[in-house]
Each structure stands twice: as C-alpha cells, then as structure tokens.
A and B are shown apart, each in its own frame.
Chain A
Amino acid sequence: MRFQEKIRTDSKEHIWQEYCGFLDLTMEEYMVIQRRLAMEQIHDWSRSPLGQRFLKGKHPQTLEEFRAMVPLTTYADYADILLKKQAECLPDKPVLWIQTTWEGGIHPMKAAPYTKGMLDTYKRNMMACFILATGKGRNDFDVAVTDHMLYALAPLPYATGLMPLLLKDEIDIEYLPPVKEAAQMSFRERNIRGFKLGMKKGIEYFFGLGSVTYYISQSASSLSKHSGGSKAGLIKSVSPTMLLRYLKSQRICKQENRELLPKDLFQLKGFMIAGTDNWCYKDDLEQMWGIRPMELFAGTEPTCIGTETWSRNGMYFFPDACFYEFIPESEMLRNMEDPAYIPKTVLMDEVRSGEKYELVISVLKGGAFARYRVGDMYRCVGIGDRNEQTRIPRFAYIDRTPDVIDIAGFTRITENSISHAIRLSGLKVQDWFAQKEYTQNNRPRLHMYVELDSSALSGMAANIDVLKEHLTIYFKYLDSDYADLKKILGVDPLNISIVKCGTFEAFRKQNGKPIRHLNPPHMQVSEFLSLM
C-alpha cells in the first residue's frame, strides 16, 4: 500500500510507528537489528568476488571475525570493479548505479551500486525523514497528496535525484518544477520555474543542500518577481490566494522597509536540508522561512543513513541502512600521522557522548562497500534524549575528515588537488598549507597560506590578487564543482595569505616536522603564525 493510501486508512500513530518506530528502539534492540543485518551482508559479501578480494579465501562466520579480517577501505579499493560496473563481482544485483565526483576532479566519477533491498530501505527511511520534517512531536505529521515540493537538488544519476523517484512510489506530491522538466534546465531556470509554479500552487516542502536553499531563499524576492513578470502577468500566473498574500506582504515589507522573505509568501510544512556546513545556514534559513530546517544525512555510498527529528536536536542513524563503526578522533589522527597504523573502531553501543568520530560503514542489503571510510566526522551529542523519549545515540555532523576541505557541500579539495592546481598555475610557490575557515558571517572559505620562492620574487608578479586569480582559474579548471560554487551560489571561497619567506622552514626546524598541508591542528597554525 502506498503512503498516500495509508494516510487515508491508517491512524497517524500506526503510520508514524511504521516509518519512525526506530526512534523507540532500545540500544539492545538497535544492535540486534544491526548485527542481524550485518550477518546477512557478511554472508553475501564474503561470497562475492569483490568480498574475496579483501578476504582472500577466508569466510568470516561472526561479526568479530569480519571486523578482524576486513581492512578499513576507501573508494580506491573498489574503483576498478565499480567504475567498470562489474555487477557479477558484487554481492547482489544492482538495480541502478549512482554517481558522484571523486576528489576534486583528479579522479573520474565515483559510481556506487544500489540493490533492490537498498532502495526499499532508502525509500522507507526517506519517508521517515519526510514525516519527521513535518511533525511537531511523536505520532504527528502533516503530509497530503496535494502538497508541493520545491526541490533544489541535482537530478539522477546523482544520489539526490533518487529521492523524487523513490517518493513517487509512496505519494504523488508535485515537484516544482516537475522532475523531468527540471533535468533539462539550468540551475537558475529551475529556480525561476520552481518559484513561478510555487506562486501558482503554493510550496509546502523545500528540500536541498543547505547552501543552495540559502542562496535560493536569499533571492526569493527577485525570483518571485521573475515568476510573475509584469503586474498583468502576475495576476494571470498567480493563484488569487497567493496574489492576495503577495500584495499584503509587499505592503508589510514596504512598511518595515525590508526585502520580501519567503515566509511572507509560503507556509512550509517541512523543510529538509542535506550536505555539509548546514549549521552556517540554519538560523538564517529559519528566519527566512519561519521554520527551522531539519538536517538529514545521505550520501552516494552510504544511502540515506540519518535524520534529525522534530526537535532538531541531533541526528539518529537508521539501524537498517548500514552497519556503523566509528573511529575515535584520537585513533583517526594517529592514523593520519602514521598511515601504517590501523585505527580501532567502536560500534554504535560503544560511542561516548561528547566524543568525535570518523564514520565507517558497511552498506547492508547487498551493498558493495564494507568497512568503508566515508570521510565524515560526527560528534556524539548524547545517548538518547529525554524530551524525545529516545534511547539511542544522537549525533551532530561536524565536517569532512581533516584531509578533505568541503565548501558548502559542493567541492572536495584535497592536498593532491591543491598541489595539482599550483603545479599547473606555474606559480613559484615554495610551500603552502590550507585550512577551512568560517567568515564573520559564518560562511565557509578556503584559506591558503602561501610562501613564494624568494629567488623568483624579483621576476614575477606575486600579489594576492594575482595568486588568487591564478589559483581560482586552475581550481575551476580541475574541478567543475568548484566552478559551480561561483556559478550557482555566487561564492568565491578562496582566501590567500602570503607568508614571509622561510617561515615553513622555521616551523620545520622548531617542530622537527613540517606543518600538515591540509587542515593542520589549531595549535600548529597558531605556532606557525607566530613565526611570521
């Protein structure tokens, strides 16, 4: 039975229980589900050629054996099989392949297989997010077939394009603009069309990357103007209710001497955001829409794995999407210092409140990835919540792991990609390090500290603008996602500081080792800056 039929025939409590019942699990019940599904996956995965590549003839019989036998993996371990889409090597037959970019354009696209079991779970968990986004508490939600969703995410084959496809199996809500139309449009066209339709039909849900939703919301005033064109056009293309609301809000805005805000026009039932750096935008988005966005975590490799609830007070991981392991921060840093060191992992029932962890997943239900380092950091913000009456750990998304700089969920800059850009630019850079920073307005940016070759200074133009211009061009050249930052969000995230010649060497002498190139620890940065 589809969700839209269930809301006609089932009680709210019943429906809520079906999709969001995992919030009632005790830690033991949660782990029973985790362990049981993990055993199913271990059985299938270890018999597949992909699994055997890691296991080399061994067949783990228990979860503990699996964790001992299988090393922690990254995409490079799977790339040859997955990029060629060799379905016969996988534990289960994939129904479709989802793509994403892999390390700032240096590598080709990443591809991840999705089986039927994974898609069913994805759908159910996505519906849970949908329900939780519209509710104000337990057993409460507000979803109707006649609702409309302004959808600001990339279409298939990106993972974000799966959502409308899966939700269509459950409910016939209308996407603004319709998914098929949107796939043919540019980002700007999609937003204008979406708002135009929204002015006519109303917008009940909004889903997108935090940064994108913020950009769209900021330009809501101009977009709504665009959607109507002239006054006569506005009257024709907008519903009478919306027209009334528009005129009224125009008057209020004039009185209050402010821009038109989305909340003046639309009353959202649910607002969901995904991606990184969402915390930077949440308050502004709440102010603009009158409703606090609910964060969920979904990715190409892990599927939809976590969601916040009505209280927006930490994210819970779905017990049936992946088997979760967590690398404590200290172990992760030790591994970064010494790549030969094998970091220890803990399970969901072993995490501690307040600790930071790197997430490791084994995708369940026939997924390809086992003990896979997703590259995301989470903080456990508590075990259960008295107000929400939950007993399982809550997490907050922090950021990518320190070896990756992700700006607004758009791009993944690594040491490798920066070195590549510097090399291509031909700039005489002696040494550098880069870190992710936040501006005074809480917006993310990439801050590069660059030391130029002293011997070349007399023969080259090397002011900050030149360096920035050069490097930006090559970042864009190497990584189309970086180019989209400017194109879509109008953001130029690069900030450059020129360092006094010899500072890097001085640091190395003082510490016995060079400063880490990407996201060095704060202590190291302070020490470095004091040497300048």
Chain B
Amino acid sequence: MASYSWVSIIALFSYLFLLMAFLVAKKTKVINAFILLLFCLVLAAGGSFFMRIRFWPSVNFWHYVSLLGILMVPAIFYRFFAAFLGAKCSRSSAFWILFFLGAYILNLFTQVFIPTPEVSVDVNGNATYIYHYSLTVTVLLAGAACISVQCIRLFLRYCKGDRLVLRQLRPILVGLAILVLSTALSTIPFLAGIPIDIISSVLFAYLVFYALYRKRLFKLSLLAAPGNCYLVAVLISLFLFNSFYRPLRALVGRLNLGESISVLIFSTILLALIYVLYRIMKQFLDVLFIKEEQNRTDTIQQFSRTISRTLNKNEILTGLLDVIQKIIPTDMACVFLDAKDGSYQEEQSFSPLHNDHSVLEPDHPLVRYLSKHDSPILMEDFVHTKEYRSMWEKEKRQLRDKNVACAAPLKDADQLIGVVLLSQKQKGKPYTAEDMSMLTSLCSVCSMAVKNARQYEKAYEEARKDELTGLFNRKSFYETASRIFSEGSQQVLSLVMLNVDDFKLYNQLYGNKEGDIALQKTADIIRASSEGRGMAFRMAGKEFTLLLPGYDIYSAKLLTESILDQVRHMNSNRELYQLKTLTLSCGICAAPYMASTLEELISNTDFAVYTAKRSGKNRVVIYSEAAVQEQQKAEHTSSYETYAATIVALTAAIDTKDHYTFSHSQNVAEYAMALARECGMSSDFVSIIREAGLLHDIGKIGISETILNKPSRLTAEEYEIIKTHVENSVGIIRHLPSLDYVIPAVISHHERYDGKGYPRGIAGESIPLMGRILCVADSFDAMISRRNYKKAMPLEDALAVLERERGKQFDPHLVDVFIKMIREGKLQVKFNSAGE
C-alpha cells in the first residue's frame, strides 16, 4: 500500500459513512441529489483505491468504476445545487446526466476520451498509472465548464440580494473554493504525491453535509444509525487486526492448533472485535447525538403514561405544563380550552398568579390561524400571516402582556379544542425545530387526553346532574352524603330539605313552562346561597336538599331562612302580571346532634319538612322542634273562600254597565267549571276557573257602552278597542294580589290553539289549560247568546263551529269533551238574550 493510501481509505469510509446516514433520512429532492452525489464520490474514491491496490478482478475494472464516479460528479452536483437553491432545472439536469453517461458508455467501448492507464510496476512492487490523454478529453472538460457557468448563473439569480440563501450556501461555496484551490496546489511540484484532491473532496463532502444540516434538512442523530456504527466498527477492527495480525499469528502458531482451528480463532476474534466495537460506537454516538432526543422521547412517553391514568382535565393540563417546563423551559405557559359560548378561556397556567382568566374570542386571529393549522407557530412568524392583519390593538396588547412567543393548537380531528401559549424561552434562547416538533407531539397527546377527560366529565355530569336546574341529582346526593358521612363521622353535618309549596297548582295556573322557570330560579337561589359552603341537589320534581358539612343547626337555619326569603320575592318583578308568590317548606336536621347515621339524618329531615307542610307551609322547621310543631296544627283554610266577596263586588260593577257581560261571565264560569270537572281537575282548580270565568271580561268596564252595545258590525278600529279588554282585565286584577292567580287564565282566554290569537299569540300547550278551557266556554256562550247586533245561534250550529275550529281556535281534546258533555246532557245549556 502506498504511503498515502490511508487517505483514500478514510475518504472512502467518510463517503460511505455519510451515504449510510442519508439513506435513512427523510427523502427530499435535495437529499436524493446529495445521496447520488455521495454515491458518485464513493465510486470515484473506491474505484481509485481498489485500482491502486490492484484488487480483484482487475485494474481496468476499478478504473472504469472510478471513472464513472468522476464523470458523473459534475452533472449530479449541478442537480444538487439547483435543488438546494430551489431552482427548477430538471431538463438541463437530465441533459447533463445523459451527456456524461453517454460519454462514459462511449468511452467504455472506444476509450475515446480517457483510455485505460498504463500500469508500470517498480522494483518494490509499487504501481504507477500513466494516462495517455488525447485532445478529445476537452469535450468532457467543456461539459464541466458549461455546468460551472450554469451553476454561477443559478447562484447570481437566486442569491442576489437574498442574504439568507447566501448564508445557507456559504459552506458549499467554501467547499468549492477548497476544490479549486486543491487543484491549483496539486500542480506545485513540492506537493506532488500528496493526495490533495482526495482530501479536498472529503472536506467538500463534509461541508455540503454541514450546509444541509444548517438548512435543517436532516437530523444529526441520523449519524448514529446502526449501519454507520457497523461501518466504523469494521474499519477500526480491520485496522487493529492488520496491526496485531503478525504477533497474533505468532502466538497461535506456538500453540500448534492446526490451520483450520487457527482460521476459526482469527475469525472469532475478528467478529468479537467488530461486535465490541459496534457496541462501543453505538454507545458513543448515542451519547453524542441521540441522548437528548431519547430523553425527549422518554419524557413524551412518561407524559403519555401519566395522563392516560387520569380523567381529570386539570391534572392533564398541569401535567402538560410541567412537561413543557421541563423540556422547553419558559417563564410562562398557559392553556386555554374552548367554552360553551365558543370562546377559549384560560384554564391553567404555570402559576396561579399568571392566570388572569383571559379569554380568546372565537374570531380571534390567532384562534382562526390555529384552527386551520396543526403545528405550533412562533409569534414572530404569526405577524407575517394574513390573520395578523385583522388583530385588534387590545388583542395585540393581551399577547404582549403575557409575553407570548409561541402558540400551539390542541385539536380534536379538525376542531380546535384548546390553545397553548408559551413565553420566550429562559435565558433568551430561541425556539428550535426540535422544540416545535416536541410541542406538536405533546399537544397531540394532550388533545386526546383532554378530549377523553371532557367526555368523561360530560358523562359524569350527565349522570349526576339534573338537566333542568344544573344541580346535582338524587344519585349524586346519596353518593356525596355517604362519602361525607364515612369520611368524617366526627364532623358536624347539616341537612336541609326544601320543598316548593303548592307547585302543582302553580303549574296548572301558569303552565309547565312557567313552572320549569320557577324551579330553575329556585335552584339558582339555592346554588348561589350555598356556593362554597355546601352542595345543593335536586332530589325530585319540587324537592331540593342542601348538604352543609361543618354547619351547625343555627347556621343552617339562618342560611335556609335567607333562601326562603329570596324565593318569596322571586316573582315580584314581573311586568305584565304578577305571578303567584312561591314559598318553600324547609326541614333541617344535623348530625351528630340529632342523627347518628345517614339514613336517620335523611329520615329526620324528611319528617321536619312534613311537619312544615302540615304547619301551614312557607316556613323552616328544625327536627328537634318537629314533635312540638306537630301539635300546633295551624289552621289552614282555603284561601278561595275569602276572595268571594271581592269577586262579587267586581262582577256587580260589570252588571251596572253591561248586563250581558255579567250574565255571560256567569255562564262562562259554569261551563268552564263543568268542563274542568269533566277533565278530572282538582277542586282547587275548579274553584279558580270559576273565579277566572267570572272575572275574564272585567276589563270591559273600561270600554264605551256604544261600542259594547253597537247594533251594527264593529269597525277595525272599534275591534282593536274591544281587544284591549284582555289587558284591561289583567290591569284590574293585578292590583288585587289575593286574586292574581286567575291572571294566567284571564290573559289567555282569547289565545287560539293555532297561535293566531291575542294578546300574546302563543299556541298549543303553551296556553295555560285554564285559558284553553275558558276559551271554549267563552266562545260557546257568545255563539248561543242573542246580542244587539246578532241573533242567537242554534245549538247545533254552535256545536258545528266548535267542531270546525277544533285544533284551530280550540284545544281539540277540550272540544271533544265539551261536545260530548252537551250531547250526553251532562251540561245544562243556558240560552241568554241581551237585556235579559
């Protein structure tokens, strides 16, 4: 081997080393071109080396291998250079490849450009290669020169004024300069024999490699690929084996083990050496390149494992922020999650001090950007986007105040479920590509976990929360009460039960919709009053409970009285008409004073509520007083009886003005009562509808007699005046709080089932039942009565109208019942006439 042959070997192995690293890299146009370039360099260096050592099969073979590599280098370099600059030169690149490949093939058969070298061997056995070039070689040189010119043109076109490209290209330019310089140096006689060209080629390859690294086209960790480790191990083993071959051979020879055993021993030693070296190399390169990446991967795995064990959203977010702090140390990080209104609210941050409960609106430009993208973005890049232009000044301030430098999306498929905001890295370090990739992975893992946690939370809430009021339900009450009881049996625990009084009546008066609203408002009061002190539950339709750990009876009583007071005044701000005042009957019991088990506590509290109900409702009863209270049965007479005098007075007032209306009201009251009874309504209901029937036209007091008794048809204007009697009626009755419960019926007796009535235009079941009953009764009596302007309608015709308007003006079910009652003689029809 020549004295500098190790240079060739090192060059060859360097190329192979880079080639193997890039074979596993993510393939791009540039990487592919570089792999091709390395392959050519391997052919050139390898061919040259094996030719020089006159390796099997022949010098000529290796000469052609080397020549193929050398000839293809310019064309492939051009391809690489264009790809590096992002230039589209596929045609010219293909042309030059074909040109040099064609030249090579032509030369292979004719040796027209570069003939095979003449080998001259000296007395020491060293070979010298003499090339006899002809002028035709200038064709190839001209080709190379043309490529150089094209490269210069590309350089001028793509680098002019673009300093970034110039900076990225700098290592390659230095490499090219070294190549040119080395060619010049090789002509100096003093340096003859030194393989400057090979050294410069290696340097060039490494500089290109560095340029690609600077352009972030591959990861440095690829150098630690197993292939490269084997390659290096083989190289070192061969070197060691070569050095120790003779002493080893002598040692084995002394043992007289025979040729075959000696070969076996040598082979075993060589393999063992390669393996040991491979392990050492792998370890070394792992430490050098992979350790950090491995750490990061481990951290992600650890994070993934941790959050997979929990379904608590806050734990997941805390875990995310912790791991971010560990891997990408920043001063601030916070997570926003989407809320029901579409905005994104700050849920978690490094420190509670940083959490200013900021909100990102759904049309916030950053949110819009992250919705469309899956990877994080640096703020310095975000300012370049189209979305940034629509940013409000206060939104810019918000991000500036938080010192936001990076934002990452949390996505569930295409939906943005959250946003992670990070400040600048500590010590002013810039965010690297690895940081961004890490953040993408973490956010992706976290998104899945948050999604699962929220689904669980939703299912958990749905199972434990009451849909109407948002309070916890009965199931949740038993779970929570049992837990509190088992956890702290020594602790004081008060239980309050709150039962809405006369709620069925309330529903009948105003309809179920108003009833639901009343329950929601009551629940809101209970929730707001107990927030932070205890837990509120809806046990059944109109029954609520409050669990108050640490509350003695006195405190529980004060709290309950406050709730009772608020509920009493809950309906006092209605504008159109006054709703009935709602009250609560409340019972209180506390452990350990008056109960030692949960069952006992519940049972005693229940008894206290029962006592409150029996004692006249609208009060708070404490269990200890229950026995006493039970004795004091307060007299609870029906309210309705007390209002009779007022109703008589009002109806008498109508009578003096319009006798027809007076008798009509009495008839309507009779018909309505009969219909209500037939429909199975309670006696309370029947009493109320009677009073509503008597008062339903009370508002006509305010309308002129000339209109009321006009013999001809009413004009549109007069009809509008007549229509106002409904509001007039309500206006009168609302000043009589004791009679306000008839208002829902009175106000809705001109509503139509199809929604075309007045004054509110409500339809179907939204019209209170009493209103629908009054409507049938009112219309029926109006039809069969004679007035100044019309004759009385025959009964059959009136029934036909009812039938026709079934489902239009009237509730179909009520019409059916009413007609049936008349046909079966259950209802006594009263035929009135004006002035009677």
- Chain A contacts to B: CB under 8 angstroms: 1, 7-12, 14, 17-18, 21-22, 24-25, 29, 32-33, 36-37, 40, 92, 116-117, 141-144, 319-320, 365-366
Name the residue among B167, B365, B390, B394 with the largest chain A CB count within 10 angstroms.
B390
Contacts of A117 in B (CB 8 A): 393
With A22-B389, A25-B386, A33-B389 known, 20 other A-B pairs at CB within 8 A are: A8-B167, A9-B164, A12-B164, A17-B384, A18-B383, A21-B386, A22-B386, A24-B386, A29-B386, A33-B386, A36-B365, A36-B390, A36-B392, A40-B392, A117-B393, A142-B160, A143-B161, A319-B389, A365-B393, A366-B393
Contact of A10 among B164, B363, B389, B394 (CB under 8 A): B164
Name the residue among B164, B167, B380 with the largest chain A CB count within 10 angstroms.
B164
Q: Is the CB of B393 within 8 A of A11?
A: no
How far apart sit A54 and B392, CA to CA, in the bound complex (Å)? 24
**Residues 387-430 (chain B) with a chain A CB within 8 angstroms:** 389-390, 392-394
Indicate if B36 sits at the interface (CB-CB under 8 A).
no
How far apart sit A216 and B197, CA to CA, in the bound complex (Å)? 60
Q: Is the CB of B161 within 8 A of A141?
A: yes
Per-position binary interface string of chain B over residues 704-746, scored 1 when its CB falls under 8 Å from any chain A CB and 0 otherwise: 0000000000000000000000000000000000000000000
Q: Is the CB of A8 within 8 A of B163?
A: yes
Could you give 12 example pairs across A and B, Cβ below 8 Å?
A1-B380, A8-B164, A12-B162, A17-B384, A22-B386, A29-B386, A32-B390, A36-B363, A141-B161, A142-B160, A143-B161, A144-B161
Q: Is the CB of B384 within 8 A of A21?
A: yes
Contacts of A29 in B (CB 8 A): 386
B401 → A minimal CB distance (Å): 15
Q: Is the CB of A11 within 8 A of B363?
A: no
- A interface, over-half SS: helix
Task: Given A11-B164, A141-B161, check contact A33 B390 (CB 8 Å).
Answer: yes
By Cβ-Cβ distance, the 3 closest A-B pairs, closest first, are A18-B384, A33-B390, A36-B390
Q: Is the CB of A12 within 8 A of B161?
A: yes
Contacts of A14 in B (CB 8 A): 384
A136 → B minimal CB distance (Å): 11
Contacts of A18 in B (CB 8 A): 383-384
Indicate if B358 sits at the interface (CB-CB under 8 A).
no
Q: Is the CB of B162 within 8 A of A11?
A: yes
Indicate if B7 sits at the interface (CB-CB under 8 A).
no
Per-position binary interface string of chain B over residues 206-232, scored 1 when its CB falls under 8 Å from any chain A CB and 0 otherwise: 000000000000000000000000000
How far apart sit A32 and B365, CA to CA, in the bound complex (Å)? 10
Residue of A nearest to B165 (CB): A11
Indicate if B295 sits at the interface (CB-CB under 8 A).
no
Per-position binary interface string of chain B over residues 349-387, scored 1 when its CB falls under 8 Å from any chain A CB and 0 otherwise: 000000000000001010000000000000010011110
How far apart sit A116 and B396, CA to CA, in the bound complex (Å)? 12
How far apart sit A21 and B384, CA to CA, in the bound complex (Å)? 8
Q: Is the CB of A7 within 8 A of B385?
A: no
Contacts of B389 in A (CB 8 A): 21-22, 33, 319-320
B599 → A minimal CB distance (Å): 56
How far apart sit A142 and B161, CA to CA, in the bound complex (Å)? 6
How far apart sit A18 and B383, CA to CA, in the bound complex (Å)? 7
Contacts of A144 in B (CB 8 A): 161
Contacts of B161 in A (CB 8 A): 12, 141-144
Q: Is the CB of A37 within 8 A of B390?
A: yes
Contacts of A25 in B (CB 8 A): 386
Per-position binary interface string of chain B over residues 161-175, scored 1 when its CB falls under 8 Å from any chain A CB and 0 otherwise: 111110100000000
Q: Is the CB of A7 within 8 A of B393?
A: no
How far apart sit A235 and B392, CA to CA, in the bound complex (Å)? 55
How far apart sit A286 and B164, CA to CA, in the bound complex (Å)? 32
How far apart sit A144 and B389, CA to CA, in the bound complex (Å)? 26
Contacts of A21 in B (CB 8 A): 384-386, 389
How far apart sit A144 and B163, CA to CA, in the bound complex (Å)? 10
B260 → A minimal CB distance (Å): 66
Q: Is the CB of B390 within 8 A of A320?
A: yes
Task: Given A21-B384, A29-B386, check contact A40 B393 (CB 8 Å).
Answer: yes
Q: Is the CB of A37 within 8 A of B392?
A: yes
Residue of B nearest to A14 (CB): B384
How far apart sit A170 and B165, CA to CA, in the bound complex (Å)? 21
B368 → A minimal CB distance (Å): 8
How far apart sit A144 and B160, CA to CA, in the bound complex (Å)? 11
A102 → B minimal CB distance (Å): 29
Contacts of A40 in B (CB 8 A): 392-394
